[in-house]
Amino acid sequence: MAAKYFGTDGVRGRVGVAPITPDFVMRLGYAAGKVLAKTRDGVAKPTVLIGKDTRISGYMLEAALEAGFAAAGVDVWLAGPVPTPAVAYLTRALRLSAGVVISASHNPFHDNGIKFFSATGNKLPDSVEADIEAALEQPMDCVPSEKLGKARRLSDAPGRYIEFCKSTFPNALDLRGMRLVVDCAHGAAYNIAPHVFHELGAEVITIGNQPDGYNINEECGATAPKALAASVREYRGDLGIALDGDADRLLMVDASGRIYNGDELLYLMVKDRLATGPVEGAVGTLMTNMALQVAFKKMGIAFERAKVGDRYVLEVLQEKGWQLGGEGSGHLLCLDKHTTGDGIVSALQVLSALRRSGQTLAQMTADLKLFPQALINVKIPLGYDWKSNAALQAEKAAVEESLGERGRVLLRPSGTEPLIRVMVEAEDADLARSMAQRIADKVL
């Protein structure tokens, strides 16, 4: 993704912190519009697509962005509530100048954010981001009346995206005979995801599909999958599919109510691809369970860790020329299917793997035993230089040497609190806890 402007009390992004007021968002639209108009070199009036999730503040931010783009002479197509990956797809398919998503993804309703996609459905080039940030510092003006941008509704946006999602599922397969419970998190996919699976033949029971502007991600969806697990058992579903507010995350549940996280689903997708052809490598993050690293090594598949965040996974995939990557939270990328993480498309890849193999989720992941993880948060003083703590580094090195290939250590500062997160993975839960405590005792 490109720069992310996010929050209710503040906006976090490369521009620093600023109030997320209608005025700021309008200026952001104007700045982005002026940069896009400049890059078009007068060949044609630039056009952007704006999509959003279901949170109440989306109406306000959509109107402010629309006004800013129009003032810069940029035409706008309004897609309404659609998943984040739908905006990436539609921007590319319609040959537009850029796509904009108004969403705070898995966060509660009182947060919101703005993400940009390039004309190719990827993140904006760094140079364009920098130009937009610079333009934000300039006074806002307005083009002459005859050059103002226009806005119109893209009424068939959901249908176009539904057909795209279905196209990523093999033509030779269908979902007939499957009962799926789909949790849309009262978010952007509420009127899209059920149609995708139903039109491929499944019996679909939908939950989390009654958005009211305030209940997005509230005790439902990929951030709270226990609700889906209970519904799968209640309705005797074959599988459950949990999306988050903007439908770029995926968790799944089997008939017994057992929840499968992003690490397990990534393993399943890699295993399925390996059965039909070579897989050069896969990408996880610093938080990806070590069991995947061990399993991929046995399978002869290279594995790389990126920084935490789907944008970093995407960057490593593009650098390596690989196709599959993801995070335990459920952000999964299949770059031969889409340019960005997509919960619905990822679910279809899992379902096609199950159909091809004739196996269940449990059977396909039976040979993957996730390592137990122990996590200890240690409060530190503001400004504390933990990296220069010789005793801490020595203890970390000693634990790593003791674990060898049977475990892993990760020290990571919190991005929002004065904390050091000490995480140890090991084949044995008690060993992980004891090793984590050893390191935590040396933080201060």
329 is catalytic: no
CB count in 10 Å sphere of residue 159: 11
Enclosing H/E stretch for 304: strand 302-306
Do strands 239-243 and 179-183 pair parallel, antiparallel, or not at all (unpaired)? parallel
Do strands 47-52 and 98-102 pair parallel, antiparallel, or not at all (unpaired)? parallel
Angle between helices 343-357 and 84-93 (to 10 degrees): 90
Task: Dig out the tokens for 16 from the structure.
Answer: 């620093």
Q: Are 111 and 62 in contact (CB under 8 A)?
A: no
Ordered per-residue pLDDT tens for the chain, 444 residues: 233 443 333 333 333 345 578 888 999 999 999 998 887 555 578 999 999 999 999 999 999 999 999 999 999 999 999 999 999 999 999 999 999 999 999 989 988 889 999 999 998 888 888 899 899 999 999 999 999 999 999 999 999 999 999 999 999 999 999 999 999 999 999 999 999 999 999 999 999 999 999 999 999 999 999 999 999 999 999 999 999 999 999 999 999 999 999 999 999 999 999 998 999 999 999 999 999 999 999 999 999 999 988 889 999 999 999 999 999 999 999 999 999 999 999 999 999 999 999 999 999 999 999 999 999 999 999 889 999 999 999 999 999 999 988 899 999 888 768 899 999 999 999 999 999 999 999 999
CA 437, 412, 298: angle at the middle one, nearest 5? 85
Residues 6+ apart with CB under 8 A from 130: none
Q: How far apart are CA 277 and CA 280, in angstroms?
A: 10
- Which among 105, 118, 329, 352 is annotated as catalytic? 105
Task: Dig out the tokens for 282 from the structure.
Answer: 């896969």
DSSP helix/strand/coil, 425? strand
Task: Dig out the tokens for 24 from the structure.
Answer: 């700021």
Counting Cα atoms < 13 Å in the Cβ hemisphere of 198 gives 10
Determine the residue type at 269: M
**pTM, entire model:** 0.91
Q: How far apart are CA 286 and CA 410, in angstroms?
A: 8
